[in-house]
Amino acid sequence: MLNGKNAIVTGGTRGIGLAVVRTFLHNGAKVALFGSREASVQRALTQLREEQPDWPVMGLWPDLTDYAAVERAVQEVAQTFGGVDILVNNAGISAREPLADYSPEAFRSIMDLNVTAVFHGCKAVEPIMRAAGKGCIINTSSMVSLYGQPSGVGYPTSKFAVNGLTRSLARELGRAGIRVNAVAPGVTRTDMVAALPQELVDRISAPIPLGRIGEPQEVANAYLFLASDLASYVTGEILSVDGAAQT
């Protein structure tokens, strides 16, 4: 589904991001995964190459809150692969502190990585995609961007902002042939959830109409659809993948 496409996936070293990288590679794309540290990037690359030594994958670890670093990394990928067709802005952090315990520094930090870094990625790839006359940007939102959460206000606030950025850039960049969408995952079996006691996972799953939490591959499939030509007339959408958890 992605033969001949070149992709960047931020936050691509584990969880949903790594599932997206693997899914894109399985579907014929060349992929550059971005991580926060060299060690985590190299670990992910080793894992992928053990699965399939011939996969065209590379890794970088720019500071996503530093626009110059992001621009350099994007240019390196474009020069190595011959362009950038797909950008997945997946890197992010969450928080659960109540407002009384929430420091301004923590709020600023979550906004820097969850919003400013997304803007940096979009800005860095835009001229490359505009010159090609086409491109696809997929941002990672969250189900809490639609419904909020009872504490940790910075996280849903940042994801509300990602939704606004997504819908606005879809309108701005559409005439350049660039589609901009977002995926809003629900509770997914990432490393953090996998470490929880089964009793707690069962309690979390109980209100979900499908009766279970999601798997990373199920979420990655949504990114694959949006990145592929099957979604050639889809832009400005926030695609929920949450088992109807909040409906």
Would you call 151 exposed, middle or buried from its count of C-beta atoms within 10 A (0-12, 13-18, 19+)?
middle
Catalytic residue among 67, 147, 155, 223: 155
**Nearest one of 136, 6, 20, 27 to 83, comparing CA atoms:** 6
- Return d(Cα 194, Cα 38) in angstroms, integer: 24
- Return d(Cα 32, Cα 40) in angstroms, integer: 14
Answer yes or no: 67 catalytic. no
- Return d(Cα 182, Cα 195) in angstroms, integer: 27
Known catalytic residues?
Answer: 155
